[in-house]
Amino acid sequence: MSQRIDDYINTLLLNEVSVSELDRAKEILFSSDELMQILNSPSVSPEEKSRVVSEIFSSSVKPVVLGLAEKCRAESICEVIEAYSAVLDKKNRIARATVVCVNEPNAQQLRGIEEFICKEENAGSAKIKVVKDESLIGGFIIQIGNKQFDRSLKTKITRIKEKIVDDARKASSVDTGNIISILKSEIRDYDFETSGEEIGTVTGVGDGIASIHGLDHVMYGEIVIFDCGIKGMVQDIKKHSVGCILFGSDSEIHEGTRVKRTHKNAGVPVGDAFIGRIVNALGEPIDGKGEIAADEYRLVENTAPSIVDRKSVSEPLQTGILAIDSMFPIGRGQRELIIGDRQTGKTSIALDTILNQKGKDCICIYNAIGQKASTVAKLVSTLEKNGAMEYTIVVCSTASDSASLQYISPYSATAIAEYFMHKGKDCLIVYDDLSKHAVAYRALSLLLERSPGREAYPGDVFYLHSRLLERSSRLSDELGGGSITALPIIETLAGDVSAYIPTNVISITDGQIFLESDLFFSGQRPAVNVGLSVSRVGGAAQTKAMKKAAGSLRVDLAQFREMEVFTQFSSDLDEETKAGLSYGKGLMELLKQPLGKPLSLAQQVITLVCAIGKKFADVPINEIKKLQGELLEYFEDKHIGIINEIETMKDLDDKLKADILKAFDDFRKVNNG
């Protein structure tokens, strides 16, 4: 309707119609029910309506009345008159304002208010409408267009209350002396706001989205506050309105609700006190352990570090999972995608990686997006049981949360991680999972009436994840050398890695760990597909010990998988082929690893040296895992020097390799004896 009103106003301006003529037309319209029925009826032809209008109305008003009648909205003449009157007043330098007060101002006060309005709007005179409102207690509010000058006692008292509550929250207690000092200070320095505040009005609300008119200078991504206290974030800017996503229930928001700007983009509180806590997407604690003292406030949307500010990924981040650390190493500052169908162990890999960071000076952040609250509670219980919450932060937006909170959640988690990164610390962040994040963004975009693209996702869904994951990096030494290592999780359908969201995230990340359903159901856990998994950082993120120990492991496994496929229907195999199959099956068995049992670097190196050295060749498949456990215990008891050397030197020379193989032979003698 806004665009049509603009058209009608332009027509009236061209015809130089006076407001009095429009008022007369309005009076005629609403005095005759028969005339209203004729103009509003879709069954009456345009020609008949034109004839009736020509007989009753002047030629200058006729185009507007006919235009409204054609749309069956003759009642909208009131909107046109009001808008046209405002345009004429602006043209004649007449300011319009509303004064809300408890008692009607006297002549002197009105003159003062008029002078203020004329000065503010650079006008020659002012039209002032006075509205009484006893809830203001005292003072008054001046509204000029969508700008508000609040000089009421009610607002002043509210701000004092908020300041007292905020101070009490920061101090985690109520200090009577502090409250009295705040009150004295506010009374002594009592003053009203002199700058205008832009006020918007809700024109429509539903499904967590609000349309707001009047916020002409609002920024994209700015936080706005509704009268009921609910916060929202501007996500869509049009000519006459803005679209806002809500961070709370929309039950208290209705058409006409007033909205204030905060002049701040969305952000979250951050600080060391967040370690060990569970927070929501807005950084508010949800674990029942009280308020969190924040050190600073960081924007959820930050630009990624530039190439100059980054350092190459060269330091490993051990997951404790043999299959990954040996073949698809992850470095500090890398982004490694974990991808696979549901229930194939994606979260388990991320959880094991978090558990393995114990004592390694790495802050872990687990971001649950659209997960069931019970699933998150179970994961937190596992972290607490293993002592991992001492260095972990959980940022949670469950399936019961709105799409708005699920959308902002990973950006909030990254902002918290950036706080630690810029302090020179290493961080690991797990996004579980970005498939649900994309679905939440798709829901918001469709509600904001953006054009759908492939699979109904909006065109900027690639940018959604690229601007998030690009923030994970390793900073240069000049900036402290901190890092954020990202493990985004993507859920596929029937193993389809060529779908829209999987291909998007694969192209953004530095490699992927693909979990295969067939491997998972055959008992191979973690069910890592060696062929489709890759780390684009490669050996640069491995210790020398691991690189030398792994040797030809990946090639051997690839040859085994190929050989297994070709020989599955063969009955007569030569000895060399049988030995190759037996060796491959042994390697696959060694790569099996129970949940919550990450291996140290030394344990992985010892296992790999013995496996590549064919020491498990004569061991029955069903006894390999048991023998591996006993072997590692034997090294802990009898050869702690070898373990310490691997952990300290992080290298593997020929002598150390020979010592490991000799120790294995001694172990077998003792074991068999």
Which of the residues 4, 169, 310, 536 is marked catalytic? 536
Provide the 8-state DSSP code for 331: B
Number of helical H runs and strand E runs in the chain: 24, 20
Contact 246, 334 (CB under 8 A): no
Spatial distance between the Cα atoms of 51 and 147, rounded to a whole number of angstroms? 44
Q: Which two three-digit tokens encode residue 547?
A: 């690189």
Evaluate the CA torsion angle 255, 257, 263, 266 in order and state its sign: negative
User: What's the residue count for the chain?
Assistant: 673
Spatial distance between the Cα atoms of 359 and 647, rounded to a whole number of angstroms? 13
Which helix (H) or strand (E) segment is 640 a member of? Answer: helix 640-649
Spatial distance between the Cα atoms of 641 and 313, rounded to a whole number of angstroms? 30
Q: How many CB atoms lie within 10 A of CB 364?
A: 28
Q: Are strands 426-432 and 362-369 parallel, antiparallel or unpaired?
A: parallel
Evaluate the CA torsion angle 181, 187, 189, 192 in order and state its sign: positive
CA-based Rg of the chain, rounded to a whole angstrom?
35
Spatial distance between the Cα atoms of 520 and 322, rounded to a whole number of angstroms? 16
DSSP-based three-state secondary structure for 19: helix
Among the listed residues 275, 231, 227, the one whose alpha carbon sits nearest the alpha carbon of residue 249: 231
Strands (E), 182-221: 197-206, 209-213
DSSP-based three-state secondary structure for 571: coil
Provide the 8-state DSSP code for 305: P
Q: Which two three-digit tokens encode residue 277?
A: 């806590």
Among the listed residues 456, 435, 372, 444, the one whose alpha carbon sits nearest the alpha carbon of residue 207: 444
CA dihedral 625, 631, 633, 634 (to 10 degrees): 160
Distance of CA 414 to the CA centre of its chain: 8
536 among known catalytic residues: yes
Among the listed residues 388, 107, 415, the one whose alpha carbon sits nearest the alpha carbon of residue 271: 415
Spatial distance between the Cα atoms of 599 and 591, rounded to a whole number of angstroms? 11
Place of tokens 């206290």: 229
Contact 497, 344 (CB under 8 A): no
Contact 531, 554 (CB under 8 A): no
Q: Are strands 209-213 and 242-246 parallel, antiparallel or unpaired?
A: antiparallel
Please write down the HEC assignment for all residues of 397-418: ECCCCCHHHHHHHHHHHHHHHH
Spatial distance between the Cα atoms of 233 and 219, rounded to a whole number of angstroms? 10
Evaluate the CA torsion angle 271, 273, 277, 279 in order and state its sign: negative
Among the listed residues 410, 443, 459, 651, the one whose alpha carbon sits nearest the alpha carbon of residue 545: 651
Among the listed residues 391, 356, 276, 336, the one whose alpha carbon sits nearest the alpha carbon of residue 541: 336
Contact 232, 241 (CB under 8 A): no
Which helix (H) or strand (E) segment is 191 a member of? Answer: none
Among the listed residues 277, 281, 294, the one whose alpha carbon sits nearest the alpha carbon of residue 389: 277
What residues are labeled active site?
A: 536
